[in-house]
Amino acid sequence: MAEQTTVILFGATGDLSRRKLLPGLLHLVLAGLIQELRIVGTSLEDYTEETFREFALRAVKEFATFEITDEQWGNFAKRLYFARSDGGIDELKATVKRAEEGLSDQSMRLHYLSVPPKAALTVVKELEAADLVEGSRIIMEKPFGTDLASAVALNSSLHEVFDESQIFRIDHFLGKEAALNILAFRFANGLFEPIWHRHFIDHIQIDVPETLALDDRAGFYEATGAYRDMVVTHLMQVLAFTAMEPPSALEPASITEEKNKVFRSIKPIQPSDVVRGQYVGYRDLDGVARDSETETFIALRCEIDNWRWAGVPFFLRTGKQLAEGQRIISIAFKEPPQSMFPEGSGVGQQGPDHLTFDLADAAKVSLSFYGKRPGPGFRLDKVSMQFSVEETGWAGSVLEAYERLIYDAIHGDHTLFTTAEGLERLWEISQPLLDSPPPVRPYAPGSWGPNQIHQLIAPRTWRLPFERRWRSTNR
């Protein structure tokens, strides 16, 4: 349990704060994982302490996945403070001081920068000027920089103010229970690791389509796009968990080193291996240029140039306004070299055997393979073994990804955070794509992206949409 913590939340009235951070911080308090919490919100918006508290209440009502009583809300609300950005460092300093009244010298101060990359450094300088750096920790949101040069510059300016041990670069996909379960699945069992390489695996798909539109976030997104928002961040981190060698210990240095080895081995992303798309209607949004070339969709092929993965393509896809919201990692195994089954048996007709991780909050894992249909002859069909967290008694103990990571940062645990070296390498392999991006192709909202995605993966096919649904838990 963290005893006393002050979270200074920059971008406090933004989308992330509303959807995740404020409900998440409240949940940590209610779960007894933070004993005494104060929150100082700050943003460019013209809020007062009172309107900020109303904003937080609306956020909790809309996005919290748990119920609260009026008394619980009242206790939380009085710990919310607000400093206007245009009040400058004096107002910030005074508000932090007011918020921390009654806390001991040992209390932890955590700065959470939920601000666009270009604003991050200004905030860091403000913290220095307000003398709020010493003994504190800082969480930086992604994307960390916008290319290699800006990431290097950001890291070096950051290090002028904060020591690396104080910095927590967050990627919330690493806090998802389902992502952590990949590590458990791979390294806690003797069954799967022996087949986890090029001799048995044909290819891997990391597919995160979203149905969300960008109406509220177009301003941020227009300067970011799907590659920077999702691929160089979340999808690559998930790829690292999927592809890394066994770490020697479950601690930050070993895990980081194995992830960085994967990043070092990824071949630079070639524009010819990328399909970029933009949903029809995006250009009409406020904050978007009428001739915008920002991609709201991206699919790409990449390769890891090491002994384990040589010749095994990784296909990554994500986008907004797509047909379904899913977050899956799909491992396609090689097919048997020959078949003794008669023609018409159905063998191989429903694709290869797959191991699928669903990274949804209610995590699932499925292993699909061919089995015999009962009855005469030899008809084969795809069947599956499935595991779902919802079928266990553990479901209620799941911490949302941000909650888990904020909790870890408060405790100084870097295991699930990204590092300067890893991020810089990811920007480095991205450079050919950033330098010459292929054209954005329009796609209809509600589709699976531009048609070119099929050529990208051929002769294989995209796993989504699933041919067979996940089994429902109450069957």
Provide the binding-site residues for ligand BG6, judged by CB under 6 A: 172, 210, 212, 229, 327
Q: How many CA atoms lie within 13 A of 18 on its CB side?
A: 12
Ramachandran category for residue 287: left, alpha or beta (phi over 0 → left; psi -120 to 50 → alpha)? left
30 vs 212, beta carbon nearer ligand BG6: 212
C-alpha closest to that of 79 among 118, 120, 107: 107
Ramachandran category for residue 375: left, alpha or beta (phi over 0 → left; psi -120 to 50 → alpha)? left
Q: Which residue has the tokens 């406020």?
A: 286
432 vs 445, beta carbon nearer ligand BG6: 445
Give catalytic status of residue 234 as yes or no: yes
Measured CA to CA, the distance from residue 452 to residue 52 in angstroms comes to 46
154 vs 347, beta carbon nearer ligand BG6: 154
Measured CA to CA, the distance from residue 255 to residue 334 in angstroms comes to 28
CB of 155 to ligand BG6, least distance (A): 20
CB of 344 to ligand BG6, least distance (A): 42
Measured CA to CA, the distance from residue 392 to residue 363 in angstroms comes to 11
CB of 327 to ligand BG6, least distance (A): 6
CB of 274 to ligand BG6, least distance (A): 18
Q: Which residue is nearest to ligand BG6 (CB)?
A: 229
Q: In what order do the strands lie in the sheet with 108-113?
A: 80-84, 34-43, 2-10, 108-113, 137-140, 167-169
212 vs 444, beta carbon nearer ligand BG6: 212
The three state secondary structure string of 234-286 is: HHHHHHHHHHCCCCCCCCHHHHHHHHHHHHHHECCCCHHHEEEEEECCHHHCC
Q: How many CB atoms lie within 10 A of CB 171?
A: 23
122 vs 211, beta carbon nearer ligand BG6: 211
The pair of three-digit structure tokens given for residue 62, joined into one six-digit string? 């809309």
210 vs 353, beta carbon nearer ligand BG6: 210
The pair of three-digit structure tokens given for residue 455, joined into one six-digit string? 């050529």
Measured CA to CA, the distance from residue 32 to residue 386 in angstroms comes to 33
CB of 297 to ligand BG6, least distance (A): 12
The three state secondary structure string of 153-199 is: HHHHHHHHHCCHHHEEECCHHHHCHHHHHHHHHHHCCCCCHHHCCCC
Measured CA to CA, the distance from residue 11 to residue 13 in angstroms comes to 6
204 vs 214, beta carbon nearer ligand BG6: 214
CB of 218 to ligand BG6, least distance (A): 12
CB of 212 to ligand BG6, least distance (A): 6
Q: Which of 234, 411, 414, 454 is catalytic?
A: 234
The secondary structure of 407-460 as a DSSP string is: HHHHTT--TTSB-HHHHHHHHHHHHHHHHSPPPEEEE-TTBSS-THHHHHHTTS
CB of 234 to ligand BG6, least distance (A): 6
65 vs 165, beta carbon nearer ligand BG6: 65
β-strand partners of 2: 34
C-alpha closest to that of 41 among 84, 72, 4: 84
By annotation, the residues acting in catalysis are 234
